[in-house]
Amino acid sequence: MLLAAVLLLPFAGKAFTIDDTLFLREAEHSLVDPLHPSALVIVWSESSNPVRLSQVMPNGPLMGWLLVPAILAGGSEIVAHLLQLALLALALFEAATLALRLGCDDEVARLASLLLAATPPVLAMAGTAMPDVAAMTFGLVGIERLYAWREHGKARDGALAALALGLAPLARSHVLLLLLLAPFVLGLPSRREQLRRWWPVAAAPVLTVALLTLTRDPGGSSADLVRSAGLFSDIGNIRSNAIAFGVHLVLLIPVGLAWMIARGRRFWLSPLPWIAVAAAAAALIYGNETRRLWLAPVAGLGIAVLADIARDAAAQRDPTRAMLALWMLVALPIVVYLHFPSKYLVPCAPAAAIIAAAALMQLPRARAVGLAAALIAASSLVGVLILRADEVFAGLGRRAVEELVAPQVAAGNKVWFNGHWGFQWYAERAGARCVTTTQPHPARGDYIVSAAVTITGVPIQAFRDRELVATVSDEAPGGRIISGAEGAGFYSNGWGYLPWVWGRGPVDRFELWRIR
């Protein structure tokens, strides 16, 4: 917990970023209609059409509810990020507790918690207002309490397991698949006595469905959640997303390196890693990504690690190992989605941390401690680099609003903006209106703030008679997590497979135009 606090507190005031705006808007609307957080109209896509929020976001209402204190505090970034730190602290406690319940000793439990605290995507998402840390924490609490229910049979533990596992999919929908771990925790219900133990598992999805039904947008469709999840899904996305999955498991999730080191010859002398590397190379060539062919060993080894973990669990016929291996696969169905950023692996991070810690501590102690320390230090550094790059990127959007939007609104001018993500949150609160393809449109004398990197809808070139008034940009060399030209795509592998690069291209550029 101290490690997490030391790494995250310097970023407590970091500007809101990427998809934060969606969940903040949910929280804002929860103050008006707490049962229907997504029952509002928003402009949030390259098409720039006003749509129901429930149509563009395949998530439940949990994060909107959790962020209400931040809205009550005036949209405070600090309150939102302290909430994430509190959720992470609970997850760190639960990770150690679960490791002990699984039969690990104190050192493995301690190391698992440290590795989870240092996992780069966990740190990075704890620096946002997105629901990934909440999904991880609620899912982890649910599994740990399910073990407690099995051991002690206390109704309180069963109820907490059902509550946590029922709420977790309302943060990230794929966490519903954690229910597939139940047979490895409780055993198959072959007798009436065992069947009775399964009521928390049966109650969890009932709670999820009930809350989704209760909070459904009355102005939308009952199928909005399913439609929004499937809107950007396609089997053609599997190739790129599978490569991203493998890269994440080596560069961002500590289990990859830990497993390869701990398994040693048993891993390297098997045909599995070499077949996986060859398959990754073929996938890159097939996708005309030959300039990224050097990533084939990274992606291939990541997939090989996952397969070796599953193979080891099957060979040992150990339900605990099988449970952890299956937990690592919870995010796998997302490979058909539009993209596969590492944030979708955050709910799997506790299992990865426990697997990595147990594998490392099987080595001679002096070597295990040295490797663990190096892995924690390296992971922490990567996490901080991502946080810092995101702080610069998101902070530029906030500064652009302060320098370009707020003064014009204060002067009584009508200001429009052409850009989304965290920038949109600040622009709307400052009094600007998003440019859309529908009426009304900017008129003569109005001002438009347009972004270069932040996703936009209607291009500024659509307004031919305009004059540039001012710009806000940052072109200083530094860390980049969003840069298609340089291959950095922490928030989407559509930009690149690397989570962070040192870049010299512009972080972003915001331009203030006046319509003549």
Give 409-451 pLDDT, tens digit per residue: 999 999 999 989 999 999 999 999 999 988 899 999 999 999 9
- The answer on pLDDT for 124 being more than 90 is yes
Between residues 125 and 337, which one has the greater pLDDT? Answer: 125
For residue 504, the 8-state DSSP code is -
What is the predicted pLDDT for the residue at 454? 86
Same domain, 342 and 308: yes
Same domain, 359 and 464: no
Q: Which of 5, 18, 63 is nearest to 389 (CA)?
A: 18
What is the predicted pLDDT for the residue at 99? 98
Same domain, 268 and 129: yes
Q: Which of 350, 291, 306 is nearest to 101 (CA)?
A: 350
- The confidence band for 223, taking pLDDT boundaries of 50, 70 and 90, is low
What is the predicted pLDDT for the residue at 91? 98
Same domain, 351 and 463: no
Distance separating alpha carbons of residues 113 and 324, to the nearest angstrom = 15
- The answer on pLDDT for 55 being more than 90 is no
Same domain, 93 and 142: yes
Same domain, 356 and 398: no
- The answer on pLDDT for 16 being more than 60 is yes
Residue 187: burial class (beta carbons within 10 Å; 0-12, 13-18, 19+):
middle
Distance separating alpha carbons of residues 255 and 243, to the nearest angstrom = 17
**What SS3 state is found at 474?**
strand
- The answer on pLDDT for 225 being more than 60 is no
What is the predicted pLDDT for the residue at 232? 62
Kindly state the average pLDDT of the residues 311-326: 94
Distance separating alpha carbons of residues 24 and 383, to the nearest angstrom = 24
CB contact set of 181 (below 8 Å; sequence gap of 6+): 143, 323, 326, 327
Structure tokens at 328: 């690592």
Distance separating alpha carbons of residues 121 and 333, to the nearest angstrom = 19
* Secondary structure (DSSP) of 333-390: GGGGSS---GGGGGGGHHHHHHHHHHHHTTS-HHHHHHHHHHHHHHHHHHHHHHHHHH
Percent of the chain with pLDDT strictly greater than 90: 84
- The answer on pLDDT for 231 being more than 60 is no
Same domain, 334 and 397: no
What is the predicted pLDDT for the residue at 510? 95
- The answer on pLDDT for 371 being more than 60 is yes
Distance separating alpha carbons of residues 418 and 424, to the nearest angstrom = 9
Q: At what angle do helices 255-263 and 296-316 cross, to 10 degrees?
A: 70
Distance separating alpha carbons of residues 62 and 338, to the nearest angstrom = 23
Do 304 and 270 contact (CB within 8 A), yes or no? no
Same domain, 418 and 457: yes
Between residues 221 and 442, which one has the greater pLDDT? Answer: 442
Same domain, 320 and 394: no
Same domain, 350 and 409: no
- The confidence band for 192, taking pLDDT boundaries of 50, 70 and 90, is low
- The answer on pLDDT for 118 being more than 80 is yes
- The confidence band for 131, taking pLDDT boundaries of 50, 70 and 90, is very high
Lowest mean pLDDT among 174-178, 233-237, 268-272: 233-237
**What SS3 state is found at 470?**
strand
What's CA 55's distance to the chain center, in Å? 20
What is the predicted pLDDT for the residue at 254? 93
Same domain, 324 and 396: no
**pTM (whole model) above 0.75:** yes
- The answer on pLDDT for 230 being more than 80 is no
Between residues 206 and 228, which one has the greater pLDDT? Answer: 206
Distance separating alpha carbons of residues 423 and 451, to the nearest angstrom = 9
Q: Which of 350, 370, 387 marks a domain boundary?
A: 387
Kindly state the average pLDDT of the residues 447-460: 88
Do 71 and 16 contact (CB within 8 A), yes or no? no
- The answer on pLDDT for 188 being more than 90 is no
What's CA 73's distance to the chain center, in Å? 24
- Torsion angle of alpha carbons 221, 225, 227, 232, nearest 10°? 150
Q: Which of 347, 365, 387 marks a domain boundary?
A: 387
Bin 16: left if φ > 0, else alpha if -120 < ψ < 50, else beta: beta
Domain count, the chain: 2
What is the predicted pLDDT for the residue at 229? 53
Lowest mean pLDDT among 40-44, 62-66, 154-158: 40-44
Q: Which domain holds residue 437?
A: 389-515
What is the predicted pLDDT for the residue at 505? 87
Single-letter amino acid code for the residue at 403: E
Do 335 and 108 contact (CB within 8 A), yes or no? no
Q: Which of 304, 489, 499, 476 is nearest to 382 (CA)?
A: 499
Do 467 and 315 contact (CB within 8 A), yes or no? no
What's CA 502's distance to the chain center, in Å? 22
Q: Which of 363, 387, 411 marks a domain boundary?
A: 387
Distance separating alpha carbons of residues 132 and 61, to the nearest angstrom = 13
Structure tokens at 425: 């949150």
Kindly state the average pLDDT of the residues 214-229: 68
- Torsion angle of alpha carbons 14, 15, 18, 24, nearest 10°? 110
Distance separating alpha carbons of residues 276 and 33, to the nearest angstrom = 50
Percent of the chain with pLDDT strictly greater than 70: 96
Do 94 and 140 contact (CB within 8 A), yes or no? yes
Distance separating alpha carbons of residues 360 and 354, to the nearest angstrom = 10
Residue 69, preceding bond cis, omega within 30 degrees?
A: no
Same domain, 232 and 295: yes
Distance separating alpha carbons of residues 117 and 350, to the nearest angstrom = 10
- The confidence band for 221, taking pLDDT boundaries of 50, 70 and 90, is low
